[in-house]
Structure 1
């Protein structure tokens, strides 16, 4: 008996992927439009986020938001929309860094699936928290440099100008993108037409964030169905084959499944079973950090007009932060081993005392950021 080819299902899946990408672009445009209405422009936005002018608070806001929704792609897409709506870059950049910290919670939670067996849990917890410590070290290095010199913003601004300097290639002139997205944004405005002014702005921001969450989550699930087999194949063939192969394949897999959380979580059972060590998995994790930046770049294409450049700038900041972090931290042997040593040490403690491991997750990702953010408001 011959099995019927499943081409219609594949076609339907890819149609869903295209629709969800479009929905995400519309959602980013909706957030941007709503924030403009609510804030009344960049000056209003500065007043709204005055409590977050402390970059440490902005950093923790990004980490907390990402931990709550368990998707850095969602949070960075929202940040792109807010920046296009007037959110200042000096607030958005620490938020982007915070999103990098918050995204590591998913694979740490996955490691608790091995909690019943001490040796397995130690290996799994070590493999998951090496991601935490790497991103934390990246922030410790780059946030002070950014505050002192603004080098990420300057480099990203220069790069964005390369893309928009030619009038024919200008993101500001991407009228086809505006033509695609504007009707849907206008439709949402008309549906919420019973509201006006700031109320309409708030409603659009909330709707846009909800749509981003739905579209990114749905996109990840469908791409997992379509691509996860191939992604696992790349993962198995690349882990343990050297740092360059690991970083490259980690980035590739994350672009394929549109979720660094998925990519890093795929590795945890392999580490827990003892198939691969934390040191072998480490480069793959760093590649996932780079691969996840594609979503913010995609979100930036949803923005047209005068704010296109600043939207592209914050997306490029995300790329630069992750690429430079890998180049510097992994490129310098003394720094390279710090996340590994910290993860191994924490895993030994966590395996002996499960409550300590749980307290680490709740404290670092939820309790501490929440207390600081609300205390500084």
Structure 2
């Protein structure tokens, strides 16, 4: 029913004349004037608000203040964005200091890669430790070209794992919006849409590749048509802007991880740079006896905060990790507030409509594919899918970017990040055959992401599977916010580590453990589908999950336990603080 309100006695119900009267009154109010016929009865408050918000009614001084305030907010927004991107770079460096040597060791164990699942899990873990799929892929390209990884077929599952591992960064970024439940739900869904797309792509394409080797044969055919005579340098556009700030803290020797993977574990190879260039070339060699008149290289000392520090590389990495997380969360909060302040309520709606709108007419069906091209292009420019998707995640959180538009941008970013691997292959030196193997790995990464796009995006039903999984993750973490931390630990550390450990025992052990697990998951999925769409086909007992204990079907019991533990810790902290304050009062009584 409609909204029926009682009318005052003697008044007609909404005649055409009364509607015209309301329009006439609104016209005067919008102009900031009182209606002549009832000037004494019109409240001045609405007119004053209209005058304040209307540009033409502001004085020159007020207009100058408005412009200055807007420019100030934009400056704050750009500054926060810069430090946000820098924090991602520091985070990557910190993870490399903490686990870079272990990642190099893992990537150098080529005998383990005979098992595709082992290669996949090493790719996930190495990328989580290095915080960059571009870095992982570049290392794999170099190791394959140098023969440390003996076959190209062994490298392909590793780059698939790198695709999964890189999505951990924007998932960490989404936790910065955990304070607002609704924002966190959207942000976590926007972050995990990347995870879900990569997980599902690997779930389909890894078995296909293991059986058919289609990526190997496709890339081999492409590389055989290439003339590998030119070499190129790998230049990064974004690093020109961010490196001056990041290098105030640490400067890394990027080749150290590759040397570690090659089995070179000498103490002279450091992850932190020991010198930053040669000021003057010497004429002495390592094996030559230093004779009179022999001049050694004069090196330029590095100038960063932790240069010549007495702390270990791992300890410096932990400190940098804490600095990076603090910077990331602070910059994220400032960025979100500044963006809201700059846009305002009305302009935010306009920007949201533009960001999520479609091309006109029949071209609207091409809009998502244009978004894919934009995602790929921007990622090629910044050479980091983590930076691009992590910057979009807060926009999804505050509601400016829809999840449906985030997905094609993420898919495009996956394709764009493969450009770094191709550049790494271009920069390779050595025999043409070795460089050809490096190119094969780089192209395998590219065509794996294109294959994932073709499987999961063009058909709406397949696309909705990815979106549905991401929404489920967002809703779950909004209800149980601790689940976000649990998901990060399980998805990117414990499960890859467990599967990798099982793979070391051989196919028999791995199949014996994982086959029953996959069978149980399949039964649960099948039963859920039947309960949702064909409930009448099931026995009464199986039509719901009520026959199982609550702890098997809901996170509520775990949430109750975690809430009790956190509540006890808060009460203990409060009582400790109160007791400490009382002691201070006794020591220094108030006169």
Same fold, TM exceeding 0.5?
yes
- For the 8 Å contact 1:76–1:99, the answer to whether it is kept is yes
Shift of 1:203: 4.4
How is 1:290-309 mapped onto 2 (pairs within 5 angstroms)? 290-303=415-428, 304-305=430-431, 306-309=433-436
Measure, in 2, the Cα distance between the counterparts of 1:298 and 1:340.
32
The count of corresponding residues between Structure 1 and Structure 2 is 286
Q: Which residue of 2 aligns with 1:69?
A: 130
Q: Which residue of 2 aligns with 1:326?
A: 453
Q: Which residue of 1 aligns with 2:463?
A: 336
Q: Which has the higher helix share?
A: 1
Q: Which residue of 2 aligns with 1:220?
A: none
Whether 1:124 aligns to 2:163 is no
Shift of 1:301: 1.1
Larger radius of gyration: 2
Q: Which residue of 2 aligns with 1:151?
A: 214
Q: Which residue of 1 aligns with 2:498?
A: 371
SS in 2 for 1:274: coil
Alpha-carbon displacement from aligned partner over 1:255-314 (angstroms, at most 9, x marks no partner): 111100010011111111011221121111111001000000001112231211111111
The answer for unaligned runs of 5 or more in structure 1 is 1-34, 39-44, 164-169, 179-191, 212-231
- For the 8 Å contact 1:300–1:312, the answer to whether it is kept is yes
**Pairing partner for 2:142 from 54, 66, 81:** 81
Q: Which residue of 2 aligns with 1:358?
A: 485
How is 1:31-180 mapped onto 2 (pairs within 5 angstroms)? 48-86=109-147, 87=149, 88-163=151-226, 170-171=227-228, 173-174=229-230
Give the alignment's Cα RMSD to 1 decimal. 3.0
- For the 8 Å contact 1:127–1:278, the answer to whether it is kept is yes
Greater relative contact order structure (CA < 8 Å, 6+ sep) = 1
SS in 1 for 2:179: coil
- For the 8 Å contact 1:63–1:99, the answer to whether it is kept is yes
- For the 8 Å contact 2:355–2:400, the answer to whether it is kept is no
Alpha-carbon displacement from aligned partner over 1:29-53 (angstroms, at most 9, x marks no partner): xxxxxx9xx9xxxxxx8xx422332
Cα distance 1:139–1:209, how it changes in 2: closer, same or farther (>3 A)?
A: farther
Shift of 1:140: 1.1
Measure, in 1, the Cα distance between the counterparts of 2:221 and 2:270.
29
Shift of 1:371: 2.7
Shift of 1:199: 11
Q: Which residue of 2 aligns with 1:221?
A: none
Alpha-carbon displacement from aligned partner over 1:59-118 (angstroms, at most 9, x marks no partner): 011011111111000000000011112212222100000000000001111100110111
Shift of 1:332: 1.9
Q: TM-score by structure 2 length?
A: 0.45
Shift of 1:146: 0.6
Measure, in 2, the Cα distance between the counterparts of 1:367 and 1:352.
23
Measure, in 2, the Cα distance between the counterparts of 1:110 and 1:69.
16
Shift of 1:315: 0.5
- For the 8 Å contact 1:152–1:317, the answer to whether it is kept is yes
- For the 8 Å contact 1:238–1:245, the answer to whether it is kept is no
Measure, in 1, the Cα distance between the counterparts of 2:390 and 2:261.
40
Whether 1:202 aligns to 2:264 is yes
Shift of 1:366: 1.1
